[in-house]
Structure 1
Amino acid sequence: MTADQTGPVVRTPHGAVRGRYERGVAVFRGIPYAAPPFGPRRFRPPRSPEPWDGVRDAGAFGPTAPKPPYSEAFAPYLSDPVIPGDDCLNLNVWTPEPGPGARLPVLVWLHGGALTRGSSAVPVYDGSAFARDGVVCVSVNYRLGVEGYGLFPDAPPNPGLRDQLAALCWVHETIEAFGGDPGRITLCGQSAGAISAGALLAAPRTQGLVRRAVLQSGPPEVLDREKVRRMVRRMATRLRIPATAEAFAAVDRELLLRTQAEAGRLSSPVLGGPAFGIVVDGDLVPRDPLKALTEGAAARDVELLMGWTRDEYRLWLVPGGLLERVDRLGAVALAGAMARCRAGHEIPRGYRALHPDAGTAEIVGQMVTDHVLRVPLHRLADARPGASYLYEFAWPSRLPGLGACHALELGFVFDTGGVPESKRLAGEGAPQELCDAMHGAWVRFATTGDPGWAAWDATHPVRVFGDGVPHTAYGPRDAEVALWLAAPALPEPPRPSVPRAPGAELAAAMRRLRRSVGTTLRR
């Protein structure tokens, strides 16, 4: 616990920490908010860390949660540092003014990564610009994959989400000592982080902890418990062990990660499949979060900033040449997307009419993006007019084929477009004026609840951040959303029990397409 004696010192509930002054702000990294989740605590809810004596050094990022690496197809685009160690339930704080009395707005960041990858140590998530502009920024590590979202008969569900709740409680209790206002906490996340933020907003146990929320490219949702169980059973079969937390806890950590990566290789954001995710558990998540939020039973007074990127799907389909493969598969890929979204033929016909020049991959990608993301966010905004603000990020990456893809907006939100890790998605030449505009909107929202454009109403205003000056469009996705609202979802098809049962041909096509996806993801 040797500390640099020149840095700022703040006392937390478990002991004092010493940070660093960097670029005019105070930074504290790797502060434990819960005990290491291993040994007897593995697959269990988080517990408070052991208090420490003296001053703990908080100059470096703490350990990251166990996770497999990105495949060769995705690694060139996405940074995901690995920091070894058991004490992975930690967080980081950037503040312009440590110490009580400042009472500045607070932004708590939950990273994305499909609940299987990512961490708070990704350089794109550096919170210095928020602190520079008067917002205390906190970023959080939480358990991932089977460690955080495996479903077992002998352990409580959702330990990763419970980690996030523990971190949020730590912030509410402690952030005043770092210059923050516990009454002005904005919970913010992207992709899986946004899904997590939505689940926490709807959780009865978080009421009063959050003043505002930002959902970037992720709606409030839960997974079907059977899909999660199938992932656990796949792993258990490969490991030749029972599908219990006790048996999984005895497995070597690296072997468990390799097995998780192999079991999940056929899952895809476009085609679905077994996956790890948040489930209704009757406790922290008592019901579907989207229903709870749209029906007004939760977080009634929380202001929302929500949105998407124009070409979300291109991050899922461009790496490894999958975009071209989907175009070649044609009707098979379209049928797979229809099955994924439980959509009738009127949906792709409607998209063809709206986008007559689009190829199959674009139709598939936009259909799935609308179904899993834009339609739920529209529904949530419709349920909270006057307190919801929507945006679309439309600036295209300078790298071939990516367009305005999933996660591209992150360097603009954090004003970290100049770091090498942001350029892995954006390429060279990301406009600083767009960084200023988007980051400024997030700062205004965290500070006042108003990002700088009209709140959602019957005209459906959406702030578009693209080439040129940001502008407000009215109902830019209404035609596509209307297709889904007009056509009721089909029921989940039963899994065929014999080779020639109804739907067997489609099921076989889906398996072929998932194998194609899996081959790409392994590269």
Structure 2
Amino acid sequence: MTQPVEFVEVATRSGVVRGRWKETTGEGANPRSAAFLGIPFAEPPIGDLRFQAPVKKEPWTGTLDALEFGATAQRGDPGVTLIPEPSIPGESTLNVNVFTPSPKKAEAGTGLPVLVWIHGGGYFAGSPASPWYDGRNFNRDNVVTVTASYRLGFDGFGWVEGAPANRGVLDWMAALQWVQDNIADFGGDPGRVTIAGQSAGGGAVLTLLGVEAAQDLFHQVYAISSPIPDVSTEAAKEFAAKMAEKLGVSNDLAGFSSVSEEKLLEVQKELSNLDPSQMEKILKEGLSLGPVVDGTLIPRRTIDSIKKGVGADKHLVIGATDDEFTMALAEMESKLKWVPKPLLLRQLGVPKKARKAYLAANKDVVEAGNYRLGGRILTDRMFKVPMLEAIAARRNAPTWVYRFAWPSGTFGFAEHCLDVPFFFDCLDGPAMAPLAGDAPPQCLADELHHAAVQFIRTGDPGWPRYIKKDRVVRVWDVPSQDVPNGFASVYPLVG
């Protein structure tokens, strides 16, 4: 016999929302989690608002049912993805999902700490409606959790003359402002907000770390597999010109506004199609779409803002999986085994002076063959080198660093996205086996998730800070351990 649905209501500044109670899993303080889904934080970005900064949602009357996920900026069937991230049709794509164990108003200073999650997807895909992003087990451990949507692709990040740049970044900030204004009504503390994300979401939170105008919207950062996009103004304008030419419209607000969403997405996909053969081009030239160094909201490269001390007061946890992008070369494995190693290293951009030292520092993947070696090089150049540069730029700012090294039961190495279900402690979620195998270790999820909760609560994840003297890195594996110079295998690539 099924249990009756138990609803719960919360009064926000915009109006009353109705959510429902759900069960948590595992052992913790709270056996139940209240989920409020698809709460709009801005008006639908359509019509005259399509290429504009987000406009705060007008209050509503009555009670808004927040029982289903809201519309997503991702359109259509995304196909097979590493993380299940469904598309949901509709116009109101700027919304948040709130998961809380205590849906009652918290007085100042008494609320629970808050985690705000920004999804990945290369800035052109992804969805906050993934079952893997359900905050129920953070709720179990007394952390209020929010997942946020934002405009993707050209609508969110394309250069449009006559319109504000970085609309996707403005969406992140609008969602965070909504949290500041409303999260106390859900039992959260707006004075203890940790922003986190993975892949493009990790790049998003690092971008926000370097944005002066965003500093009052959050207090800590947890960056997972976080490349720093920093699309140049020149590159953004060049891509916009190509889009306009292909679409046959003027390269400005009027021209792009005249194009349907469907047609724009079709051309965007054609001009920014990513495949393994383009990886080296991406490493050299960067992404076509993503946060743009526009001279105003993002006045300089993120690394330069960090060097100037922006975000230095924020505690940061940052890391990557050992072999993020090895899968990108899977279809080329049979061909790569015949490529001489010096040629492979040259083609993948390893400087000549660094090649001997790099091979010596990565003996395990060298022995595994060129496919694994090429994937490790891509991983290091795209994720770990920028990460180490960002860490160095923070100097003595409080920073903790990790590697996720547990090898997937499916792939035999720690690939992109593998650590996400461990972070959320959702190994019982759907579509787990294709990424992690049939028996991912719950003990590792318990350990990693506990450290994340501890960081969100206290600002310290429980292992030594990363300082220049010993560069201790937490290596997540079975067993996990703290390793001095834990990224030594990458050092030959760091200038």
Q: Give SS of 1:420's match.
A: coil
**Matched pairs, number:** 470
Q: 3-state SS of the aligned residue for 1:371?
A: helix
The answer for the alignment partner of 2:100 in structure 1 is 95
Q: For residues 7-46 of structure 1, what are the structure 2 equivalents within 5 Å?
A: 7-23=7-23, 24-46=32-54
- Please, what is the CA RMSD of the aligned residues? 2.2
The C-alpha deviation readout for 1:342-384, integer Å capped at 9, x for no partner, is x532233432233353533433332332233222322333334
Q: Secondary structure at the match of 2:54?
A: coil
* Aligned partner letter, 1:13: R
Describe the shift of the 1:450–1:27 C-alpha distance in structure 2 as closer, same or farther (beyond 3 A).
Answer: same
> Structure 2: how far apart are the matches of 1:141 and 1:327?
42
| 1:234 aligned onto 2:242 | yes
Aligned residue type for 2:90:
G
Q: d(CA) in 1 for partners of 2:410 and 2:81?
A: 12
Structure 2 CA distance, aligned partners of 1:78 and 1:133?
23
Alpha-carbon distance in 2 for matches of 1:436, 1:269: 35
Deviation at 1:322, TM superposition (A): 3.6
Alignment deviations for residues 176-195 of structure 1 (CA, whole Å, 9 cap, x no partner) = 11111111000101111111
Task: Judge conservation of contact 1:348–1:363 (CA < 8 Å) in 2.
Answer: no
**Equivalent of 1:307, from 306, 316, 319?**
319
How many angstroms apart in 1 are the aligned matches of 2:100 and 2:272? 38
What residue is the counterpart of 1:144 in the other structure? 152
**Partners in 1 of 2:320 and 2:442 — Cα distance?**
20
By how many angstroms is 1:172 displaced?
Answer: 1.0
Alignment of 1:115-264 (within 5 A): 115-264=123-272
Normalising by structure 1, we get a TM-score of: 0.85
TM-superposition CA deviations, 1:298-330 (whole Å, max 9, x none): 122110000000111124333xx1444454566
Deviation at 1:43, TM superposition (A): 1.2
The residue correspondences of 1:57-456 to structure 2 (distance < 5 A) are 57-67=65-75, 69-70=77-78, 75=80, 77-101=82-106, 102-266=110-274, 268-272=278-282, 273=285, 275-296=288-309, 298-318=310-330, 321-327=331-337, 334-338=345-349, 344-355=351-362, 357-358=366-367, 359-382=369-392, 383-385=394-396, 387-400=398-411, 403-456=413-466
Q: Secondary structure at the match of 1:185?
A: strand
- 1:461 equivalent to 2:472? Answer yes
Hey, what's the Cα distance between the residues in 1 that align with 2:15 and 2:279? Answer: 42
CA pair 226-316 structure 1, distance change in 2 beyond 3 A: farther
CA contact (8 A) 1:88 1:142 kept: yes
Q: Does the Cα contact within 8 Å between 1:386 and 1:456 map onto a contact in 2?
A: no
Measured in 2, the distance between the counterparts of 1:266 and 1:476 equals 31
Separation (CA, whole Å) in 2 of partners of 1:204 and 1:470: 36
Q: Tell which deviates more after alignment, 103-112 or 46-55.
A: 46-55
Q: Deviations over 1:389-423 (max 9, x none)?
A: 1111111111146x200111001000111212333
Residues 1:84 and 1:373: Cα distance change in structure 2 (over 3 Å) = same
SS, match of residue 398 in structure 1: coil
Distance 2:298 2:337 in 1: 39
2: distance between equivalents of 1:56 and 1:106? 23
TM-score with structure 2 setting the length: 0.89
Q: CA deviation at 1:22?
A: 0.7
Q: Distance in 1 between matches of 2:374 and 2:233?
A: 26
Secondary structure of 1:421's counterpart equals coil
> In the aligned structure 2, how far is the partner of 1:191 from the partner of 1:45?
24
Q: 2 CA distance for matches of 1:76 and 1:148? A: 21
Q: Equivalents in 2 of 1:164, 1:269: separation in Å?
A: 27
Q: Which amino acid aligns with 2:192?
A: R
The 3 A distance-change label for structure 1 pair 43 and 9 is: same
- Following the alignment from structure 2 to structure 1, what is the Cα–Cα distance between the partners of residues 335 and 69? 40
Taking structure 1 as reference, are residues 193 and 270 closer, same or farther at Cα in structure 2, changes over 3 Å only? farther
Would the aligned equivalents of 1:303 and 1:387 in 2 still touch at CA under 8 Å?
yes
Identity rate, percent: 36
In structure 1, stretches of 5+ residues that fail to align are: 486-523
Contact 2:225 2:320 in 1 (8 A): yes
CA distance in 1, matches of 2:337, 2:235: 27
Asked if 2 retains the 8 angstrom alpha-carbon contact of 1:124 and 1:422, the reply is no
Please report how far the alpha carbon of residue 211 of structure 1 lies from its aligned counterpart in structure 2 after TM superposition: 1.3
2:28: which partner in 1? none
- 2:490 is matched with 480
Distance 2:411 2:387 in 1: 29
> What letter is aligned with 1:376?
P
2:7 match: secondary structure = coil
SS in 2 for 1:10: strand
Q: 1:350 to 1:86 in 2, by over 3 A?
A: same
Q: Give a deviation string over 1:83-127, Cα, whole Å, max 9, x none.
A: 000000001011110122250000000001000110110111111
Q: Please tell me whether the aligned partners of residues 391 and 462 of structure 1 are also in contact (alpha carbons under 8 angstroms).
A: yes
* Alpha-carbon separation, structure 2, partners of 1:404 and 1:479: 15
**Which amino acid letter does the alignment assign opposite residue 304 of structure 2?**
K
Per-residue displacement from partner, 1:192-214 (whole Å, max 9, x unpaired)? 11111111111111122211100
Q: Cα–Cα, structure 1 residues 460 and 168, in superposed 2: closer, same or farther, change >3 Å?
A: same
